[in-house]
Structure 1
Amino acid sequence: MTNLFLAITWNIDPVLFDFGFIKIHYYSLMWILAFMMGWFVMKKIMEIDKVDVRLLDPLFLYAFLGVIIGARLGELFYNFDTYMGMPLGQSLLEVFLPVQRNPEASSFFGLLQGYEFSGFRGLASHGATLGFLTTAYLFNRKYLKRNLLWLLDRVAITVPLGGAAIRVGNFINSEIVGKETDLPWAVKFVQQSAGYGEVVARHPAQLYEAICYVIIFFIIWHIYRKTDKKYFQGYIFGLFFVLLWCVRFFVEFFKEDQGDEFVAEALNIGLNNGQILSIPFIIIGLVVMITSKNRQYKDQ
C-alpha cells in the first residue's frame, strides 16, 4: 500500500501568468530555456572547431522550426483519435499553432475568434527528432556544406540539456506522470490529468529522465573535448542516440501510458508507444556509431 505520509505533494499551477488573452506556462519557458542552453553550447563548439559563428543564427532558426513542427506532428502518435475527431480546420490550427478551441474566448489580437492562446503543450520527442534531422540536412546543404554527420555530432551535444529542461517542464505541468509507488521520494501530482485516474503517490519519472539527460550531456561533452572520437564522423551522434533512447525506453517502465496507445495496441508486444518508437532510433544509433570508424577525418 502506498505510504502517502512520505510522498511529496506537488500542486503547482502550470500557468505562471494569465493575462486573459494569453497565458504564460512554465512548460513554454522550459522550451525557451532549452533553446537558450543549446545556443550557448553550440556557440562554444563552433568557436572550438573554428566555424563561423554567424552560422549559429540560421542554424538556430532551422532547428527551432524542425523541432517544433516535428514535435507537433509526432503528437499525432499519442492523440490521433483526438485530432481526427476535430473538424479539419480546427485540427490543423491546433497542431501547428499554440492555440486551442474555446467558444467563449475573445478574439486573439483581432484574429482566431473562439480560440485562446494555450502554448504548445503536446510535443513528442520522437517527432522532434525527425523534424530536426530534416532541417539539419537542409541547413547543412545550404550553409555548412560538410558531411551531415559532422554537424549532427556537434548538435547532439546540445540536446540532452534541452531535453532535461523540457522534462522539468513536464514535472511542473504534472504531466507524463509515473506509476504508483511507495518509495519515499514519490510525488502526489494534485493537478494531474484526470486521464491518470486517482491522485496517488507516483514515480517522478520526468525527473528520472531529466537527471539521466544531464549525465548524458557530461558523457558526450567529455568525449568531444578529451578524446579523438569527434574525428570519427557519426560516433558522438550514434552514441547520443543509443544513450538517450535507451534512457527513454527504460524510464517508460515507470510511466503511465501517454494518450492513445494505438501503435502499441496494433503490435501487441508488451511495450508502449514510447518504447516501440525508441527502438528504431537505438538501432540507428548503434549502426552509425559502429560504422564511424570508416569515416575518420583529420582536422587536428
Structure 2
Amino acid sequence: MMNLLNYILWDPNLVAFKLGPFSIRWYGLMWVFGLVVAYLLVQRLYKEQKIKDEYFDPLAFYCFFGILIGARLGHCLFYEPDYFLTSSKGIIEMILPIRFGDDGSWLGQTFGFHVIGYAGLASHGGTLGLMIALWMYVRRTKLSIWTVLDNIAIATGSTACCIRLGNLMNSEIIGKITDVPWAFIFEKVDAVPRHPGQLYEAIAYAILFVIMWTLHKKKPEKIGTGWYFGFCLTYIFTFRFFIEYTKEVQEAFEASLPIDMGQILSIPFIILGTYCMIKAKKKA
C-alpha cells in the first residue's frame, strides 16, 4: 500500500495576483515571462550579428501572434474538434479567450460568459504557427530564413521551460500513476502519486537552452545554416515523443490509438529537424 506522505503534495494557487477584477494566473504569467526572456535573448543575438534594429522591432509581434494563434488552433483542431467545430459557441470560444456559462463570475451574470484566457494551447500548433509567422516576417524584412530560424531556436528552450512550469502550476498535463519517490500528488486532480511530466519537460528544455547558448558561442558560423533550428526541433520532439509514455492521455479518443496524439504530431517535426541538420552538415 502506498504511503502518500512519501510524495510531494502539489496544490498551488492558480492565481499569482489580481489587478482589479482581473486575475493573473501563473500559467499566463509564465507564458509572458518566457516570451520576454526569448525576446531579450534574440535581441542580443541580432546585435552580435550586427543585424539592424529596424529588422528586429517587428519580430516580437510576429512571434507572439504566431505562437498564440498556432497553439490555440492546434489544441482545438487536434484535441477537441468535436467541441470547437460543431457549434457557433465552440467557434467563438476557440477564437476569443472566454467560456460561456453562468457561474457567478464578474462577467457571467451580465453577458453569459466569463473571461478565462485561452484554456487549451498545444505546443505542436504553437511551433507550426511560429514557423509560418517567421516565414511572413522574412518576406517583409528580406532576412535569411535560416538565420532567423536559428536565432529563434537558440532561445526557444528558455520559453518552452517557462511554459511547462506554467502547466505545472496549473496541475495540467499530468503523468501516469507511479510510485517513484519524486512523484507529485496533484490535489486538484486526485489523491494518487503521478509522474510530474511537466517538470520533466521543463528540465529538458532548460538543458536544451544551456546546450544551444553554449554551442552558439563556440560555433557562431553555424547560425544561418539551419543546424540550430534542426537540432532544436529534433531534441524537443524526440524528448516529447518518449516523455508521452509517462503522461495520461489528454483526450479520451487517444486511448484507442497505438500512440497518442502528442507522439503522432511529434514525428513530422523530428523528421524535419533531422533533415535540416543533415542539410546544414552537407552545406558546411
Tell whether the structures are fold-level matches, with TM greater than 0.5.
yes
Q: CA deviation at 1:7?
A: 0.6
Q: CA deviation at 1:251?
A: 1.1
Q: Deviations over 1:123-150 (max 9, x none)?
A: 100000111111100001101x133111
**Identity percentage over the alignment?**
38
Q: CA deviation at 1:116?
A: 1.0
Looking at structure 1, the residues matched to 156 and 8 of structure 2 have their Cα atoms a distance apart, in angstroms, of 29
Matches within 5 A, 1:70-81: 70-76=70-76, 77-81=78-82
Q: Deviations over 1:188-220 (max 9, x none)?
A: 00112xxxxx42011111000000001011111
2:198 aligned partner: 206
Amino acid at match of 1:54: E
Matches within 5 A, 1:1-300: 1-17=1-17, 21-76=21-76, 77-85=78-86, 87-88=87-88, 90-104=89-103, 113-143=111-141, 145-192=142-189, 198-228=190-220, 230-231=222-223, 233-261=225-253, 265=256, 268=257, 270-296=258-284
TM-score scaled by length of structure 2: 0.92
* Secondary structure of 2:57's aligned partner: helix
Looking at structure 2, the residues matched to 151 and 275 of structure 1 have their Cα atoms a distance apart, in angstroms, of 27
The answer on whether the counterparts of 1:38 and 1:162 sit within 8 Å (CA) in structure 2 is: yes
97-106 vs 201-210, greater mean Cα deviation = 97-106
Amino acid at match of 2:13: D
7-16 vs 18-27, greater mean Cα deviation = 18-27
132-141 vs 222-231, greater mean Cα deviation = 222-231
Q: CA deviation at 1:25?
A: 1.0
Amino acid at match of 2:11: N
The answer on whether the counterparts of 2:241 and 2:266 sit within 8 Å (CA) in structure 1 is: yes
Q: Which runs of 5+ in 2 are unaligned?
A: none
Q: Which runs of 5+ in 1 are unaligned?
A: 193-197
The answer on whether the counterparts of 2:151 and 2:223 sit within 8 Å (CA) in structure 1 is: no
- When the two structures are aligned, how many residues end up with a matched partner? 282
Amino acid at match of 2:160: G
Q: CA deviation at 1:232?
A: 5.7
Amino acid at match of 1:25: R
The answer on whether the counterparts of 2:150 and 2:224 sit within 8 Å (CA) in structure 1 is: no
Cα gap change, 1:271/1:3 in structure 2, threshold over 3 Å: closer, same or farther? farther
Structural RMSD (CA): 2.1
User: Which consecutive segments of 4 or more residues in structure 1 shift more than 6 A?
Assistant: none
